[in-house]
Amino acid sequence: MPRSRWALPFLALFAPHGGAVELSDQTLELHLGALGRASIPLRLIERASIMNWPWWAGLGVRIGRGVVGFVTQSGPAVVLQLAEPLEVRAPLRWTTQRVVVRVSDPESFLHALAERRYALPAD
């Protein structure tokens, strides 16, 4: 996850190693230090798109109307629409069907996500 220089003092307290996005064959793992965590089964992702995360929406793990954001910098972010509600830690337990994650290269991330989802075994 890219980090804004404005977020460094705050994130250094709760996420000293920054955030991590790990895409495996079955899940997408999001970690932002002690602030939040999500483990998203790839089979639950219905749609993925790109949005512009505004600076005024804040940084860190953000809870908004129907969305949880894992963002360390404003700018292009990936929006994941889930097929069913999923419990995440933000930093308390929270249920959502939309997750926003800020990655360095959203288009490459979407491409890798699509490849992994395509390779999933059919139910």
Are 110 and 78 in contact, with CB atoms under 8 Å apart? yes
Which pLDDT tens digit goes with each residue over 17-68?
A: 457 899 999 999 998 877 789 999 999 999 999 999 998 888 888 888 889 9
Are 104 and 14 in contact, with CB atoms under 8 Å apart? no
**What b-and-e string marks burial along 53-75, b requiring 16 or more CB atoms within 10 Å of the CB?**
beeeebbbbbbeeebbbbbbbbe
Residue 10 has pLDDT above 70, yes or no: no
Which pLDDT tens digit goes with each residue over 77-119?
A: 999 999 999 999 988 899 999 999 999 999 999 999 999 999 9
The amino acid at residue 75 is G
Length of the chain: 123
Are 62 and 31 in contact, with CB atoms under 8 Å apart? no
What domains can be seen in the chain, in order of their start residue?
A: 8-118 (2.30.29)
Q: Name every residue whose Cβ is closer than 8 Å to that of residue 35 and which is 6 or more positions away in sequence.
A: 11, 14, 15, 60, 61, 90, 91
pLDDT band at 123 (very low <50, low <70, confident <90, very high): low
Question: Quick one: the chain helix, strand, coil %, rounded to 5?
Answer: 20, 50, 30
